[in-house]
Structure 1
Amino acid sequence: MKFAHGKINLHQIGHEFEPKATHLTAGSSDLCFITQKPIYEVLTHLKTCNVVCIEGPVKRTGARAKLLSVYFRDPDGNLIEVANEIG
């Protein structure tokens, strides 16, 4: 689902894509947040907060631009993506 400058990816059970939430349910989603901070500063901040990056930085397709993204999980196992728009 795209809206304004955002995007929510909905997972179809049995046809999920990686990475994904730890505990999938019908209609579960992952969240992407765009930041102006360089992605390597985001990685440093995550490490300082003892947050494990599970993937990235990797190039992805965003709602309105290509992204450079990192992925991690919130305390409930939901997938969180933080990204820079790169073009």
Structure 2
Amino acid sequence: MRSVATAMGIDIRNGRLRASTEMDALGTLGVSRKAPVGLGDIQVVVELDTDADDATLAKLAELTERDCVVAQTLARPPHLTIRRAAGE
């Protein structure tokens, strides 16, 4: 976000990022097949000390989400391949 803000000419004096989610361990531990496995929706809230207006901050959020390596990785589930070790 800092890199995107710099590219947009936004001065950020300070910031705080808070990420939260929910997880039902019963699914992950195999205790309940009805409980989901993994994390629920991830919510990220960013509070910035800046003079930028709301429209500029909305654009900053949009571009940050588009360019964020972590966000883009989470948006596309990984493909899992399992193979037998060679020679066995």
The verdict on a shared fold, with TM-score over 0.5 as the criterion, is no
TM-score, scaled relative to structure 2: 0.25
Structure with greater strand percent: 1
Q: Going by fraction, where is helix more abundant, 1 or 2?
A: 2
